Structure 1
Amino acid sequence: MTTPPPFSRARENNKQPILEHLRNIFTAPATVLEIGTGTGQHAEYFATALPHLLWQPSDHPDNLWQCEQRLQEAALPNIAPPLGLDVGAAKWPLAEANAAFSANTAHIMAWPEVQAMFRGLARVLTAGAPFCLYGPFNYGGRFTSESNQAFDAHLRAQAAHMGIRDRDDLIHLAQEVGIALEADHPMPANNRLLVWRQARAH
């Protein structure tokens, strides 16, 4: 019997609400860099629903195995082979992308890695390219719900570098590298979809 690929209940639950927004954001043919592909459920689902996109999965080299079986079995023509991506590397394995997507990564990464992610996106995204960042966020230093506060405590108990990021800190960080916040969409389970736009040409 074939072992099923790794599965994330959270990704299964949020993929349709996210897709409803991506349909209106990723409207033109594009290469979409996904940072933190994880189990590959988002890659498979979004690439199936948005065939005009070339979906480029990526994850830290140590985690890449999580998506490989699922994406190989899906064998979709518009999913590129997944890339090993360390966001802190001076050079990323993809030179250019027309869009980017990342879900539930900012609170897992250490803050210097979040900074490196935005700097890297500023290097590879074409002018006007959107970046969709999904997850829980704080506002003005405050949690938006008791469940998010409990989740933050759970994260920090696992590792001190993890924790829910504040939207104001992200806005400031993004502005430094020429990326602007364009939209902020409420999502189920006290999550948000932040839509950023690359303002600068390479």
Structure 2
Amino acid sequence: MKKHAPATLRNREAIAEILACELPADGTVLEVASGSGEHAVYFADAFPQLTWQPSDPSPEALESIAAYRSEYDGKNLLAPIHLDTSAPADWPARHADAMLCINMVHISPWAATLGLFAGAARVLGKGAPLILYGPYFEAGVEPAPSNLAFDMGLRERNSDWGIRDIADIDKAAKDHGFARANRHGMPANNLMLIYRKG
């Protein structure tokens, strides 16, 4: 059954604009935590020269992604795979030329983010990007009231969730051989952070 995430319609064009600057000219993009699958279909269509590999740990999400894929006319969108970043040693994906992760870091335990970088260190080659999108707290930047309220709501739902500090993301990246190459401000108080493997 197809699921619908309203935010995908609001942010996909802005995200695609940045992806056009950061993704390689060809190869395979591993999308982690693909959710409903709406982004995967949109980006596969927007970047036909790239092979798009969606993934998610949720059976319901995998079903939704497969349903959207069945209506996609292109040949560059692969069947979704089960991938749980909190189990970084057991990824079905062995190689990718880029990785994209949208709105996962704040709605998952910190271990999932550490696993994301650990897995990325194995599947990405030198210079390949790991691209993160979502809300983040940043030293020297006053948090938006909406992000503070969102963070509080996340932590009330699950004490292991919450908006992360970019400094902590940067450290996790460095510990796994990545360095932040770019930071893009996005609508609705979100950011895109680009990490590249050293």
TM-score by length of 2: 0.94
How high is the sequence identity, in percent, across the aligned residues?
40
Counterpart contact for 2:54–2:80, Cα < 8 Å = yes
> CA separation in 2, counterparts of 1:52 and 1:192?
25
The equivalent of 1:103 in structure 2 is 102
Aligned to 2:45: 48
AA aligned opposite 2:42 = Y
| Aligned equivalents of 1:99, 1:68: Cα separation in 2 | 21
Q: Per-residue CA shift, 1:59-86, capped at 9, x if unaligned?
A: 0043322322111221420011100001
Aligned residue for 1:119, secondary structure, equals: helix
Specify the alignment match of 1:72 in structure 2. 70
More displaced stretch, 68-77 vs 159-168: 68-77
Q: 2:82 aligns with which of 68, 81, 84?
A: 84
1:30 equivalenced with 2:27 (yes/no) = yes
- Tell me the amino acid that sits aligned with residue 40 of structure 1: G
TM-score by length of 1: 0.93
Distance 1:95 1:39 in 2: 23
Task: Provide the C-alpha distance between the structure 2 equivalents of 1:28 and 1:48, rounded to a whole number of angstroms.
Answer: 15
CA deviation after TM superposition for structure 1 residue 88, in Å: 2.2
Query: Which blocks of at least 5 consecutive residues in structure 2 are unaligned?
Result: none
Q: Is the 8 A contact 1:185 1:194 kept in 2?
A: yes
- Structure 2 residue matching 1:128: 3-state secondary structure: coil
RMSD: 1.4
Match in the other structure for 1:130: 129
Q: Which amino acid aligns with 1:139?
A: E
Name whichever of 133-142 and 31-40 sits farther off.
133-142
Structure-to-structure mapping, 1:1-202, within 5 angstroms: 5-62=2-59, 63-89=61-87, 90-140=89-139, 144-199=143-198
- Aligned partners of 1:141 and 1:166 also within 8 Å: no
SS in 1 for 2:106: coil
> Counterpart of 2:105 in 1: which secondary structure?
coil
CA contact (8 A) 1:94 1:124 kept: yes
Aligned-pair CA distance for 1:18: 0.4
Of residues 176-185 and 72-81 in structure 1, the stretch that sits farther from structure 2 once superposed is: 72-81
Partner amino acid for 1:24? Answer: C
SS at match of 1:180: strand
- Matched to 2:4, the amino acid is F
**SS of 2:146's equivalent?**
helix
Aligned residues: 196
Shift of the alpha carbon at 1:25?
A: 1.2
Q: Measure, in 2, the Cα distance between the counterparts of 1:155 and 1:48.
A: 32
CA contact (8 A) 2:24 2:97 kept: no
Alpha-carbon shift at residue 180 of structure 1 (Å): 0.7
How far, CA to CA, are the matches of 2:27 and 2:197 in structure 1? 14
